[in-house]
Amino acid sequence: MLAHLRGAIERGEYAIGDKLPSEAELCRTLEVSRPVLRESLRALQAMGLTVSRTGRGTFVVADAVQDPTFGDYAAGDLMEVRRHIEIPAAGYAARRRTPENLDRLAHLLDRMERESDTTVWVAMDALFHLAVAEAARNPVFRRVIEEIRDALARQSAFLNELGDRREQSDREHRAILDALTSGSERDAVDAMTHHLDRVENTLTHIVRPTPHHDRPQAV
């Protein structure tokens, strides 16, 4: 669905400046539900391929993906800051976490692993990263993650829609929690580094896919 629309834009079937068909028409043509279509339209906008103009519709503004934007922040800027904040925060959290911090993280992760609603899971994903920052016992770490929390949730939704990241992300979060529980600063730093590496690799694959554009993508 999303791959179809993205491909049509990149091939020039919808040129820069063109208005996409109405939601009703796209739903009928592509045989998808309105919620599925709206997720795809949001992803196109995050990719920078389209812009939504209230009351007028969705317009094509680019024919190639550059750097996705999540809320107020470009993906590249977001990843740069996350590496400088979340990796050291995980190390401090391994040394400073309280039993209450670990209980909160374990409760969140247990819920995430059982959750069937992707929207709810995405919100808890951002809360998990906020809880790790809180466990570092430094209010500055928490304040920074709170500032980018909405962007983290948008990025998470984008990666789930286009990169099928959810189960892998749960496993990576579990490794982070295990490291914090053991109190190993090195393991916590390594686990968070691995998690952010996987996030960045998935983003790169989405933005610059392998040449086989007609190959179906997991959504």
The span from the CA of 30 to the CA of 17, in Å, is 22
Q: DSSP 3-state helix, strand, coil percentages of the chain (rounded to 5)? A: 70, 5, 25
Above 50 in pLDDT, residue 105? yes
Portion of the chain with pLDDT greater than 70, in percent: 95
Span(s) in the chain for CATH 1.10.10.10: 2-60
Q: What is the mean pLDDT of residues 169-181?
A: 98
For residues 101 and 134, the answer to whether their CB atoms sit within 8 Å is yes
Span(s) in the chain for CATH 1.20.120.530: 69-207
At 18-61, the pLDDT tens digits run 999 999 999 999 999 988 888 889 889 888 899 999 889 999 99
Between the alpha carbon of residue 2 and those of residues 22, 32, 36, 167, the distances in Å are 15, 11, 9, 21
Identify which has the larger pLDDT, 183 or 212.
Answer: 183
- Global pTM? 0.80
Above 90 in pLDDT, residue 98? yes
**Which class would CATH give 69-207?**
mainly alpha
CATH of domain 2-60: 1.10.10.10
Bridge-based pairing state of the strands 69-70 and 57-60: unpaired
According to the model, what pLDDT value does residue 209 have? Answer: 64
Query: What is the residue whose two structure tokens read 């969140």?
Result: 108
The span from the CA of 180 to the CA of 101, in Å, is 10
